[in-house]
Structure 1
Amino acid sequence: MARRSASLLFDGSEWSFAALSRAYDAIEEIALGEMELDVYPNQIEVISSEQMLDAYSSVGMPLMYQHWSFGKRFVFENHLYRKGRRGLAYELVINSNPCITYLMEENTMPMQALVTAHAAFGHNHFFKNNYLFRQWTDAGAILGYMDFAKKYVARCEERHGVAAVEEILDAAHALMDQGVFHYRRPPRLSSEKVTERARERLEYEEQTYSDLWRTLPVTAGNRGRAEAEQEALERKKVLNLPEENLLYFLEKHSLILEPWQREILRIVRVIAQYFYPQGQTKVMNEGCATFVHHYIINRLFDQGSLSEGAMLELLASHANVVFQPGFDDPRFSGINPYALGFAMMQDIERICTRPTEEDRDWFPTIAGNGDWRGTLIEAWENHRDESFILQYLSPALIRKFRLFHLTDRSGDRFCEVASIHDERGYAAVRAALARAYDPGANRPDIEVTDVDLLGDRRLRLRHTVKNGILLEEAHRDATLAHIRRLWGYEVSLEGVEASTGKVLYDCSSGTA
């Protein structure tokens, strides 16, 4: 007992910086040495519950400009937390280089060790190596850019007034989901030159900005149809239409925005783009981090570095994280990404080391290869949730989760159980679950299709309606009003059925 106590990383629940350092070193040795993870340098900070709430409020970033919505969310989260109706995350991790991990000072020492393994190595490895994060974010530049954004918005408030800046931010925030490039990679930020480039861009726009755009007369309507169609084709080519990124289009082509307002739109869309990969990798990211912390704490216990009491606390917390209520459980709110992700990581390890004949039929390239580390690392690098589930979800796991597929057609009186967890249904259930994580199937497909800058200047948008899912009218009309505020002229939105091209609705900001 004396020898085992001497080998423990910590004893008891109280944490200290010395104990945190010892635990970090032991975790790092397993993560890098045994699991062969590749991570950014770590920066670990211990913060209070109020600081954690503040981080919640500002979308998890250590630097953020001021806006009333952040204060509103802080008050809401703080109220629920103080009333005991909602807990706080044990940690918060930022996709940056160095990777910043915030630990709650209220955590016990065992929990500090668990979340260090979870965030500082699991999430960190995923951020650095997954292809979406490599292509769409620049971890080395984001903190520098956020520092620039915070200072720039503050200067705009001093120069133009808080109300004027708030009005632009309100409209930009309303369009954040439509302010992302989904199919082409934007240029990376430059952490060293971002402020200089912004200054040069603003100086150029101020020199070339002309108020004549506001006063150009509307052209006569006596052109022939063929001539008008040819002009429209040339106009769309020059403006690179259709354009999916509404904030980008408004930033570049709005006729009423001043240079500082365009820069604020750019700041908001850069932040929206930074978070774009996280929405597509929730299952994989949390599954990776949960698998990593589970492996590490078990290895530490096997080495005699954790006491039985600490291990019981860690396993209890882990069990709560990966708990998946049944569909008929009052607590059910969908599939828990921690539960599904962790189960799939463990299942891949099993398939690689202890495959069944069924596994060999479904996964001939990895079944029994013995290299579960390499298989997982390859999967973490090259997939998002949709493709990961479509490729790696096994029949064994479908049975374990008792998954089934419901079809819900608006014209039917009842839902139909189309597929269940049996031989005939495995492929259909897996494909249906993968589609649920397809961002293209779950977000409105809205594009700028045309605008006649020398004519009526009406901005024309098209919503491609899939599966008969229309926009909610109240939110649609409020968003159109925000777009009109940024564009300055009439904005119309046409809903077109994807399969037939039939126009389902046509509305404008004038009727919103």
Structure 2
Amino acid sequence: MELPVHLWEIKNQLKAHAEAFGLDVFETIFEVVDYKTINEIAAYGGFPTRYNHWRFGMEYEQLSKSYEYGLSKIYEMVINNNPSYAYLLEGNNMVDQKTVIAHVYGHVDFFKNNYFFSKTNRRMMDEMANHATRVRRYMDTFGVEPIEDFIETCLSLDNLIDYYSPFILRKRPQQEKEPDLNEMGIPKLSTGREYMENYINPKEYLAEQQRKMDIEQEKKKRFPEEPEKDVLQFLMDNAPLEQWENDVLSLIREEAYYFAPQGQTKIMNEGWATYWHSRIMTEKALDGAELIDYADAFSGIVATSPGQLNPYKMGLELWRDIEDRWDRGKFGKEYEECTDLEKRSSWNRGVGQGQAKIFEVRRHYNDVTFIDEFLTEDFCRKHKLFTFAYNSKSSQYEIESREFSKIKQKLLSQMTNFGHPFIMVRDGNFKNRGELLLHHRFEGVELRMDYARDVLKNLSQIWRRPVNIETIIGDKGRLISFDGTQHKEAPCDYEPI
């Protein structure tokens, strides 16, 4: 349903306020929908049209039950598209609708201007509808069950991509056929005399040269030449897939790359939208009679729960902290070397660069670089951050540490690669038998064996041959394999990449 007249006027006012603050947004189309419709859209990942799969139905049931039992409520959704589309929940009071519209403009500014969204498809609404049409056509041709089963397999692997691949410029080298070393013969030293042959080129020397040639020839058989982080692309290029299977895998991969920046910037993006809706509402759009309702709703948005990190709260406070530090000049060599806590807390050089700084950060950073550069010991102390861990003796989660370095390391480890292990293709012709060898870049955390076995099983359904992964378990190299029927584990020489 299109916006009613009163909401249309409010939307225009809020857009004018957002632009006056310096936000740069796409044209944004708002629609008002009931809770069933917004749950359907949310189940589809924020899109009104998408291919059919039982996973989306399961997600819809979960969202519907959660809403009906009063456990959760979706206030808004916005799609990274040009024009952007946003959905407002029918029945929200006017304060909520104004807050949501202001929040949406914060998101749209971030989508348009953050570097990590710059490579995303700005016509993804149309692309998702195209994907749905292609999948329906395959279902009509090959049946629903085999298509759904294959999609399920692909979805279980959709994080095996190289998240930075869209930003890497690669030149494809000219493919020149290299000579077969065996056809060239074994390199020999020139003798000039036949009777000297056995002395200058003894059998041991020739055998060693043959061994070296065999090793070089074996290397040329290995592909990829360098470890490949985009596992899905490698499968598309090399797995023995039917045309429809390759197409389905390609659209799953395309959607994974579209959604990736949203995961890479969750704290920044939600914090940015919350920062701007709070400023727009409190400084421009809020009526006096709406103050209590707004404060009540806002407290729910930034509330923290045990064992969970609220990205709205974390992001908002970091943006405010950056603005305050650059307004007061709390950066640079002089400030960093100051050890007087009282002097640091009252530090104010009147620089006034806060607004310029947050717009600069909004353009160039993702969550990992954002936390790495702007999370400070003062911030952790002020907001009482800590790490926690499970205590087997008390059977409870307890505070583990309040040390800044450990807090920062924990946050960064959770955000790097979305907390997933780094997996890449090492060899597509492992053991010279066409087997797939994956490499786990070990960084101190072992693989979850139940997940690893399931992933190997699903990969084998696409590769159609045995699949292996080398990793570290208990400080020793281990090779985990699946041959199509059973899993095996054996020692291996683990060489870090």
Quote the offset at 1:260 in angstroms: 1.4
Number of the residue aligned with 1:278: 262
Number of the residue aligned with 2:77: 92
User: Distance in 2 between the 1:338 and 1:444 partners?
Assistant: 26
SS class of match (1:176): coil
- TM value normalised by structure 2: 0.79
Tell me if structure 2 keeps the 8 A contact 1:435–1:441: no
Quote the offset at 1:429 in angstroms: 5.1
- TM value normalised by structure 1: 0.77
Number of the residue aligned with 2:121: 138
Quote the offset at 1:384 in angstroms: 1.0
Q: Does 1:297 align with 2:278?
A: no
Number of the residue aligned with 2:307: 333
User: Distance in 1 between the 2:421 and 2:217 partners?
Assistant: 29
User: Distance in 1 between the 2:431 and 2:384 partners?
Assistant: 60
User: Distance in 2 between the 1:398 and 1:26 partners?
Assistant: 37
Q: Does 1:387 align with 2:369?
A: yes
User: Distance in 2 between the 1:336 and 1:360 partners?
Assistant: 33
Q: Does 1:459 align with 2:459?
A: no
Q: Give the residue type in structure 2 aligned to 1:168.
A: F
Tell me if structure 2 keeps the 8 A contact 1:360–1:367: no
User: Distance in 2 between the 1:150 and 1:363 partners?
Assistant: 58
Q: Deviations over 1:411-441 (max 9, x none)?
A: xxx9998864xxxx55x25642552354248
User: Distance in 2 between the 1:81 and 1:363 partners?
Assistant: 51
Q: Deviations over 1:317-345 (max 9, x none)?
A: 11111122xxxxxx412221111111112
User: Distance in 2 between the 1:112 and 1:415 partners?
Assistant: 38
Q: Give the residue type in structure 2 aligned to 1:64.
A: R
Q: How does 1:309-320 map to 2 (within 5 A)?
A: 309-320=289-300
Give the number of equivalent residue pairs.
435
Tell me if structure 1 keeps the 8 A contact 2:466–2:481: no
Quote the offset at 1:16 in angstroms: 7.2
Flag the 1:351–1:155 CA change in 2: closer, same or farther, 3 A.
same
Tell me if structure 2 keeps the 8 A contact 1:46–1:105: yes
User: Distance in 1 between the 2:115 and 2:378 partners?
Assistant: 28
Tell me if structure 2 keeps the 8 A contact 1:91–1:102: yes
User: Distance in 2 between the 1:61 and 1:26 partners?
Assistant: 27
Quote the offset at 1:470 in angstroms: 2.0
Number of the residue aligned with 1:323: 303
Number of the residue aligned with 2:426: 449
Number of the residue aligned with 2:494: none
Q: Deviations over 1:87-116 (max 9, x none)?
A: 221000111111111100121111111000
Number of the residue aligned with 1:103: 88
Q: How does 1:353-392 map to 2 (within 5 A)?
A: 353-354=327-328, 361-362=335-336, 368-392=350-374
Tell me if structure 2 keeps the 8 A contact 1:451–1:457: yes
Q: Deviations over 1:286-330 (max 9, x none)?
A: 1000000000001225xxxx4323121112111111122xxxxxx
SS class of match (1:143): helix
Q: Give the residue type in structure 2 aligned to 1:336.
A: N
Quote the offset at 1:227 in angstroms: 4.9
**Highest CA radius of gyration, 1 or 2?**
2
Quote the offset at 1:407 in angstroms: 8.8
Number of the residue aligned with 1:53: 39
User: Distance in 1 between the 2:270 and 2:337 partners?
Assistant: 23
User: Distance in 1 between the 2:67 and 2:421 partners?
Assistant: 33
Number of the residue aligned with 1:183: 164
CA RMSD, 1 decimal:
3.3
Tell me if structure 1 keeps the 8 A contact 2:425–2:436: yes
User: Distance in 2 between the 1:458 and 1:367 partners?
Assistant: 63
Q: Does 1:263 align with 2:247?
A: yes
SS class of match (1:100): strand
Tell me if structure 1 keeps the 8 A contact 2:106–2:273: yes
Q: Does 1:511 align with 2:493?
A: no
User: Distance in 1 between the 2:472 and 2:410 partners?
Assistant: 26
2:447 aligns with one of 470, 476, 484: 470
Number of the residue aligned with 2:24: 38
Q: How does 1:84-233 map to 2 (within 5 A)?
A: 84=70, 86-119=71-104, 121-135=105-119, 137-139=120-122, 141-178=123-160, 180-185=161-166, 226-227=212-213, 229-233=215-219
Flag the 1:437–1:128 CA change in 2: closer, same or farther, 3 A.
farther
User: Distance in 1 between the 2:50 and 2:217 partners?
Assistant: 44
Amino-acid identity (%): 27
Quote the offset at 1:55 in angstroms: 1.3
User: Distance in 2 between the 1:346 and 1:454 partners?
Assistant: 56
Flag the 1:226–1:160 CA change in 2: closer, same or farther, 3 A.
farther
Name stretches of at least 5 consecutive residues in structure 1 with no aligned partner. Answer: 1-14, 189-223, 325-330
